[in-house]
Structure 1
């Protein structure tokens, strides 16, 4: 039936959103959707090129419309699947995490995207571009140490961050440690 394969891709995209790691690329489903799109396009062109084709014939027009809409739906489903995967790869690149289930083309994309991020960050090594765009509510925050880090040098002195200890520190001094999961804001 038209669109069944594309619907499977949409279900896979929805499932992907709930997973921590990106699942393996559904190459067979993608090929099936592309094949269906080509078949629908060929059928539309064949119908329009027939010598007895009458554009005023409502039955033929309805048939072409259904095929065209099915083709557009397949394309949208395929693009949604690709967009979901690309967005997850982009997030992984910014967070500098590894995605193990990428195919060859996705690995190339990920490498190129990581290179782009490095180029963007290059001249701004002292600025954390991965941080939140919203300004903090407080300059100083209470934090609890979840994992021992050791000594951390700040403007206000040296802190020895041992597990289960608490500190009142400037947010900008510990923002990276918060993002990495060593500290937790109280």
Structure 2
């Protein structure tokens, strides 16, 4: 049934958000969803074929004259949009997880290579589960890491990957890297 595979992918994306690591990419599920979108598009093309003339590339379809066809077109279009949104949500969650791991300093590619080595040796560790990253995600990871290193390189004295949570203590020690003189805050 249309939408079931997209629902599974969204549920998997929701599970990814709460995990501390990045699980393997669901290549089969994404391919199935893309195939479903192509099938729906073929259905739309077949439904509009009788209304297309060789002289005009746009179909001369009147929805009020054929409400059954209009309803079928609408359902197919909505299913395609939903599947595309499910795919985009899944890939966005995975991209955010890759970015989070980069900021924390994990080497995801090294982890993936270690997993592949264990699978080849037959030592378990998720054997047969597929790659952690797709080829596109590996390229995104390498480019994002390069960009992050370039960004961190400007301010080598400041740790940009440190915690962004403010301290809860009343008095805190501040380590000064450069003496800039007297600093005034809004509280004095």
1:91 to 66, 81, 100: 100
User: In the alignment, which residue of structure 1 is the partner of 2:36?
Assistant: 36
TM superposition score normalised by structure 2: 0.69
User: In the alignment, which residue of structure 1 is the partner of 2:87?
Assistant: 78
Q: What is the alpha-carbon distance in structure 1 between the residues aligned to residue 154 and residue 106 of structure 2?
A: 22
3-state SS of 2:146 partner: helix
Q: What is the alpha-carbon distance in structure 1 between the residues aligned to residue 160 and residue 135 of structure 2?
A: 28
User: In the alignment, which residue of structure 2 is the partner of 1:16?
Assistant: 16
1:63 to 62, 72, 90: 72
Deviation at 1:62, TM superposition (A): 0.9
User: 1:2-39 deviations in whole A, cap 9, x for unaligned?
Assistant: 01111111111111122111110000000000001111
The size of the alignment, in residue pairs, is 145
> For residues 139 and 172 of structure 1, do their structure 2 counterparts lie closer, same or farther at Cα, with a shift above 3 Å needed?
farther
User: 1:117-162 deviations in whole A, cap 9, x for unaligned?
Assistant: 0111122111222245566566853xxxxxxxxxxxxxxxxxxxxx
> For residues 105 and 130 of structure 1, do their structure 2 counterparts lie closer, same or farther at Cα, with a shift above 3 Å needed?
same
2:136 to 84, 99, 105: 105
Q: Kindly report the root-mean-square deviation, in angstroms, between the aligned alpha carbons of the 2 structures.
A: 2.2
> For residues 49 and 91 of structure 1, do their structure 2 counterparts lie closer, same or farther at Cα, with a shift above 3 Å needed?
same
User: In the alignment, which residue of structure 2 is the partner of 1:119?
Assistant: 150
Q: What is the alpha-carbon distance in structure 2 between the residues aligned to residue 60 and residue 54 of structure 1?
A: 10
Q: What is the alpha-carbon distance in structure 2 between the residues aligned to residue 128 and residue 50 of structure 1?
A: 64
Q: What is the alpha-carbon distance in structure 1 between the residues aligned to residue 134 and residue 9 of structure 2?
A: 16
Unaligned runs of 5+ in 1: 142-169, 174-186
